[in-house]
A and B are shown apart, each in its own frame.
Chain A
Amino acid sequence: MTERIERELWLPATPQEVWDAVTSDGWLGDRVSLELRPGGDAEFESDGQVRTGWIEDVAMPERLCFWWAVDDEPASRVELRILERDNGTRLRIVETRPLDVLDLVGVPLPGAGSAGYGPALVAA
């Protein structure tokens, strides 16, 4: 298991419509400001909380890759891929954090119908 979140969703819309929706205010944040070029600034504001970041790569309307972080949290990388598929559009999201602690020590994650944090963590 890695520190990696993956989601996929099919939508009955065109890639451009999906692109517009995911880059508009209200989706990644209440107020979203994206400078759509590699190295461009990104800012996401929701409920007074501001995430700042930067654009790693952009290929409208099929790919947007950026980094974001809140305050002193480690930054994470988000990749959105928007592909035309089955008369609609498939949106695939991957958010990763560079740190890969769980994988290294083999700690089972909670929620997988399982032993919670694992005996070592419970004992500590």
Chain B
Amino acid sequence: MSRNEPDDRAGAVFGALSDSTRRALLAAVAEHPATTATELAAQLPISRQAVLKHLNALTAAGLLERTRSGREVCYRFTPAPLSDAVDWMTAVGAEWDERLAVLRRQLGAGTGGIKAPRSGDADEVTTSAGSRDKARPSLRSAGTPAPPPTRRRSSPAAG
């Protein structure tokens, strides 16, 4: 069943980050944009050849971008796959907040008004992840819940 398999791109990101050397490389590139393989090899106890191999894996996963500068190839950190993860947390967290608000209206004890989920009071809504302050669902109309926010990939500012 294809739906049971992780998304290819997500799998590539995960694979690329599963190696500690690659994570160190990614951190180094993020800190010094437009770094070359030679510069990175000088910072790490591995050969330029090995650095290149890891940079290729990170590039294939969409986490690095190559640009040519004269005779050198420079690398730059491209966080799109990561902001995708942040978007997911934000959107999915908001969807559940909204669903819980619906449930509270439906089954909660004689609610005169809707409590904002952030209050963390008697209704004991707990949050361990996600962002409450972004993509907050509208809780105004008691009868017709607003549609849950659409998941999107890489435009946290839109909407």
Contacts and interface: CB of A to CB of B under 8 A. Distances in A.
A101 B81 contact: yes
A99 to B, nearest CB: 4
Contacts of A6: 126-129
Interface residues of A, number: 55
B31 to A, nearest CB: 7
A5 to B, nearest CB: 5
Contacts of B132: 111
Contacts, number: 158
B107 A110 contact: no
Contact of B128 (A4, A75, A76, A124): A4
A101 B99 CA distance: 26
A6 to B, nearest CB: 4
A54 B3 contact: yes
B51 to A, nearest CB: 18
B79 A95 contact: no
B85 A99 contact: yes
Interface string A1-38: 11111111111110001100110001110000000000
Interface in A62-111: 67, 69-70, 72-76, 91, 93, 95, 97-102, 104-105, 107, 109-111
Q: Interface majority SS on A: helix, strand, loop or mixed? A: mixed
A98 B133 CA distance: 25
Given A99-B6, A110-B134, A111-B134, A49 B150 contact: yes
Interface string B1-36: 101101100110110011000010011001101000
B159 interface: no
B107 A46 contact: no
A54 to B, nearest CB: 7
B123 interface: yes
B113 interface: no
- CB-based closest 5 A-B pairs: A111-B131, A120-B30, A74-B7, A13-B107, A6-B128
